Amino acid sequence: MSGRVLVGVKRVIDYAVKIRVKPDNSGVVTDGVKHSMNPFCEIAVEEAVKLKEKKLIKEVVAVSCGPQQAQETIRTALAMGADRGIHVQVTGKDYETLGPLQVSKILAALAKKEDAQLIILGKQAIDDDCNQTGQMTAALLDWPQGTFASEVSMEGDKLKVVREIDGGLEMIKINTPAVVSADLRLNTPRYATLPNIMKAKKKKIANVNPADLGVDLTSRVEILRVDEPPQRQAGVKVETVDDLVGKLKDTGRI
């Protein structure tokens, strides 16, 4: 076992930013808007670093797909404790249409190239909410998957994963190599301290082209239109059940 873990990190618009739709409804405004690492990816990095600190794995490699700015996100992962980074360069139109299918192909190719034992991803990104990359990556590699993980532990060469599901919690045991996707309660990510950020400057980030990995970035999805959600209307208070029924009839709801 290589003892190597691949962690995917995505650069997204910061969760605290008020999102605005572009005037031409082609997407959201990203220019000059604050971006940061996807919160679930932070949890993924934290988990990987924790495993390394427990000496269960040997190396954490942070991967991000995107333009030049993706390097900032990788650097944050390095500051949190990842050992090195891989920046898969995707720019322009390719970046606009980059989705889980393309990213999972990239990750699968890298996993083979790097001889990874484990891939940890965030369960979903807060910009597109796809919740697909982990699952697709596992399928492409024909690896077992432990998604929505709220607890991960290694038992020999098997992985015990507690999953958050609708009914409660499910515990599964899967073989490695495997793909895990992190859910909210898996851990609390550490702050990248300033001294660690300075140390991370010395860690390496390799540049890779999707073409070199034999990945075709063509998208099967075309975004037609982006709209703001409808404005929330004020509610109305009613005194009795009869009033309620009356009002529902009036507005044509029943």
Partner 1 sequence: MLGAVICEQSGSAASKLCVKHMVTPVVLQAEVFPYPEVGNEEAEEIQQLVAPVEKFFAEEVDSARIDQEAKIPPETMNGLKELGLFGMQVPEEYGGLGLSNTVYARLAEITALDGSIAVTLAAHQAIGLKGILIAGNEAQKNKYLPKLASGEHIAAFCLTEPGSGSDAASIQTRATLSEDGTHYLINGSKIWISNGATADIMTVFARTEVVKDGVKADKISAFIVERAFGGVSSGKPEDKLGIRGSNTCEVAFDNVPVPVENVIGEVGGGFKVAMNILNSGRFSMGSSSAGMIKKLIELTSEYAATRKQFNRSLSEFGMIQEKFALMAVNAFVMESMAYLTAGMMDRPGLPDCSVEAAIVKIFSSEGGWICVSEALQVLGGLGYTKNYPFERYVRDCRILPIFEGTNEILRMYIALTGMQHAGKILTGKIKELKKGNIGVAFGMAGKRLKSAFGSSVDFGLTGKDGVVHPSLEESAKKFEQNVAFFGTTVESLLYRYGKSMVDEQLILKRVADVLINLYAMTAVLSRSSRSISIGARNHDHEVLLANTFCSDAYFKNNYLMTQLQKHSPENNDANIKKIAKEVLENRAYICSHPLERTF
Which residue lies nearer to partner 1 by CB, 36 or 97? 36
Which spans of this chain sit near partner 1 (rule: CB under 8 A)?
16, 31-32, 36, 72, 75-76, 79, 191-195, 197-198, 201
Which residue lies nearer to partner 1 by CB, 38 or 181? 38
Which residue lies nearer to partner 1 by CB, 36 or 150? 36
Which residue lies nearer to partner 1 by CB, 79 or 111? 79
The minimum distance between CB 229 and partner 1, in angstroms, equals 19
C-beta of residue 226 within 8 angstroms of C-beta of residue 26: yes
The minimum distance between CB 193 and partner 1, in angstroms, equals 5
Which residue lies nearer to partner 1 by CB, 22 or 173? 22
As a three-state string, the secondary structure of the chain is CCCEEEEECCEEECCCCCCCECCCCCCECCCCCCEEECHHHHHHHHHHHHHHHCCCCCEEEEEEEECCCHHHHHHHHHHHCCCEEEEEECCHHHHHCCCHHHHHHHHHHHHHHHCCCEEEEECCCCCCCCCCHHHHHHHHHCCCEEEEEEEEEEECCEEEEEEEECCEEEEEEEECCEEEEECHHHCCCCCCCHHHHHHHCCCCEEEECHHHHCCCCCCCCCCCCCCCCCCCCCCCCCCCHHHHHHHHHHCCCC
The minimum distance between CB 252 and partner 1, in angstroms, equals 32
The minimum distance between CB 89 and partner 1, in angstroms, equals 17
The minimum distance between CB 176 and partner 1, in angstroms, equals 32
The minimum distance between CB 194 and partner 1, in angstroms, equals 3
Which residue lies nearer to partner 1 by CB, 44 or 179? 44
